[in-house]
Structure 1
Amino acid sequence: MKKEVKDTIIAELGAKLKEFPHFYLVDLAGLNAEATSNLRRKCFKNDIKMIVVKNTLLREAFQASDIDFEPLYGALKGTTAVMFAHTANVPAKLLKEYAKEGVPALKGAYAEETIFGADQLEALVAIKSKNEVIAEIVALLQSPAKNVISALQSGANTIHGVLKTLGERPE
């Protein structure tokens, strides 16, 4: 491979590292062509960009980055695919579907500005996306307000009933 081509690939990987806040390093060894094609389709449906890369070129892209990815250097062995995503837990959930088969296997990940190892798939699945956290906060904020409104409405009906009864009572 010519140096110009390598430099172009490294620049493209660097751009992907800046564009996507989360990425997973995955070992695709053991997947046949059909299984790899199915995985790519699932990645596309889940808005995940999957690229098979040479480990040395990915290491150079890591080194050119502003972020220290040195703990992930040990994972750069064998066949490596990078799954780029905007939501931290989506690739983890996809990999968990394949966990029974053991392929593809997680090598490492960078999610929510933290580096995760190959044995931390469950922790990655448990990460909540920004939208999930916002939905939980809104639900928590709505719950007390709904209780107050419900109490006021039931109290209003009770007071109305008492006043109506007192008004209808003969003197």
Structure 2
Amino acid sequence: MDRNAKAAIIDALRVKAGKAQIMVVTDFKGLKVEEMTDLRVKLRAQQIDLQVVKNTLARIAFTESAFKPLGDVLKENCAVVIGYDDPVLTAKVITDYAKSNKKFTIRYANLQGKQISDEGLKDLSKLPSRPELLAQALGTMRAVPQNFVSLLANVPRSFLNVLTAIKDEKEKAAA
């Protein structure tokens, strides 16, 4: 590989690291091509990248980003999973695949510059996704004014019920 190709790979990784929310270093030793392709398809469907690169090129690319600690764990054969929008979704896809395929292991995870243990990544995968959290927050925010309106509507409704009861009593007394 010539210098220009290496520089292009480093630049591409720097751009991806600049956009990334989460990066996970994985070990894929022993995976068959079909299994690796299956993982790539699952990740691509969620706009998540999986990149197998030379460790030295990745170390150089990550030195000026929040993912600099990844350089210390890039040894032997490894792949870097790069999640951009929703770190929870990335954690879910990776942990689900690791459960289904014992040869695929997670070495290291980094969420916005902070290291996450394997247990932390599993806990992150159990959280609701970003759209679900937004829906829950919106439902909570919507409940307060809705309850307030219902409370205010009950006052005239109760008053109307009292007036109707008085009217019915007077009609019975008149009859």
TM-score bracket relative to the smaller structure: 0.7 to 0.9
Give the TM-score of the pair, scaled to structure 1.
0.83
* Pair 1:77-2:52 in alignment: no
> In the alignment, what sits opposite 1:166?
166
What's the RMSD between the two structures over aligned residues?
Answer: 2.3
Change (3 A) 1:35 1:119: same
What CA deviation, in whole Å up to 9, does each residue of 1:86-127 have, x standing for no partner? 211112101221233334221222224422234432233246
Q: CA deviation at 1:18?
A: 1.2
Contact 1:95–1:105 (CA under 8 A) maintained in structure 2:
no
Aligned equivalents of 1:66, 1:80: Cα separation in 2: 19
Structure 2 counterpart SS, 1:89: helix
Change (3 A) 1:125 1:138: same
Structure 1 counterpart SS, 2:102: coil
Q: Specify the code of the residue in structure 1 equivalent to 2:90.
A: P
Q: CA deviation at 1:165?
A: 1.5
Q: Specify the code of the residue in structure 2 equivalent to 1:89.
A: V
Aligned equivalents of 2:55, 2:164: Cα separation in 1: 81
Q: CA deviation at 1:68?
A: 5.9
- Structure 2 segments unaligned to the other structure (5+ residues): none
Matched positions, count: 169
Aligned-pair identity (%):
26
> In the alignment, what sits opposite 1:55?
55
Farther-moved stretch of structure 1 (84-93 vs 21-30): 21-30
Contact 2:109–2:117 (CA under 8 A) maintained in structure 1:
yes
Q: Specify the code of the residue in structure 2 equivalent to 1:163.
A: L
Structure 1 counterpart SS, 2:52: strand
Change (3 A) 1:108 1:4: same
Q: Which structure has the larger Rg over C-alpha atoms?
A: 2
Q: Specify the code of the residue in structure 2 equivalent to 1:3.
A: R
Aligned equivalents of 2:149, 2:46: Cα separation in 1: 39
Structure 2 counterpart SS, 1:153: helix
Q: CA deviation at 1:155?
A: 4.1
What CA deviation, in whole Å up to 9, does each residue of 1:22-70 have, x standing for no partner? 222121112111111111111111111111111111011112x243623
5 Å matches for 1:81-100? 81-86=79-84, 87-100=86-99
If each structure's helix is expressed as a fraction of its own residues, which one has the higher value?
2
Q: CA deviation at 1:131?
A: 4.0
Structure 2 counterpart SS, 1:98: helix
Structure 1 counterpart SS, 2:167: helix
Contact 2:91–2:121 (CA under 8 A) maintained in structure 1:
yes
Farther-moved stretch of structure 1 (78-87 vs 53-62): 78-87
5 Å matches for 1:3-82? 3-63=3-63, 65-67=64-66, 69-70=68-69, 72-82=70-80
Contact 1:29–1:104 (CA under 8 A) maintained in structure 2:
yes
